[in-house]
Amino acid sequence: MRSYRSNINYGKEKITFDVSHADRKTMEIGVHPDIRVTVKVPKGIAPEVVNQRVAKRARWIKRQIAYFRKFEPHAPAKCYVGGETHLFLGRQYRLKIRKHNCSEVKLKDGYFYIMTPAPDNTRKIRDMLFNWYKSHTLVIFSKRLEICYKAVKKLGIRFPGLRVKKMSKRWGSCGKVGDIILNTELIKAPLHSIDYVIMHELCHLKVHTHNNAYYRLLSKYMPDWEKRKERLEKVLL
């Protein structure tokens, strides 16, 4: 399989895409959540023919890119001071910072209680809260993955491994070995929105690109996915 990178002009903008040749009969254009554009083509197709086909789909490609850019997380910067609100599972909690000999974070009665010997050290408070989120993230995400997987198990996909990490441009993705990666920031969203991102990635284990077949599959197993996505954007964007 031979691969190369090319681009076309679309109005005043440029669309860059990666082309790979394979044993196939048709050409497939895909736009991925990280804004990559890929083109899979039959062997022997000339680069100018590929560029012509991509140019014909340029409007659709730009729509898909715009769609994924709307999906990028853009949480406002936090100062980590008393009275500031922080999200957990879709609900707002205010910070109450107390001077204490030990360092501890507790969620109680609508507040994040931050106990620390250095109540004015906002960097320390940020790290404490991040570690608290992190300690809850994998447990909750694992439970939601088990629930969502039961719905799509009949598709024949294996139960995926799960990884979590902080990402600046995506809520989730599929790893190269068939695992699922979820953004740590997603722990701040409601459970039904977390389920949407997980189902989004589970369906990608069956259909890898965002084509009509993919959206039919997603709609079959989560008919209200658009409402869940909209809720996610309202809470975290």
Structure confidence by residue, pLDDT tens digits, 5-29: 899 998 888 899 999 888 888 899 9
Radius of gyration of the CA atoms of the chain, in A: 21
Alpha carbons 227 and 148: distance in angstroms, whole number: 17
Question: CATH 3.30.2010.10 region(s) of the chain?
Answer: 85-236
pLDDT value, residue 72: 59
Question: What pTM does this model have?
Answer: 0.68
Tell me the CATH class for 85-236: alpha beta
Q: Which residues pair with 164 in a beta bridge?
A: 182
CA atoms within 13 A on the CB side of 197: 33
Model confidence over 151-206: pLDDT tens digits? 999 999 999 999 998 887 788 888 777 899 999 999 999 999 999 999 999 999 99
d(CA 171, CA 215): 18
Query: Using CB atoms within 10 A of its CB, is residue 214 exposed (0-12), middle (13-18) or buried (19+)?
Result: middle
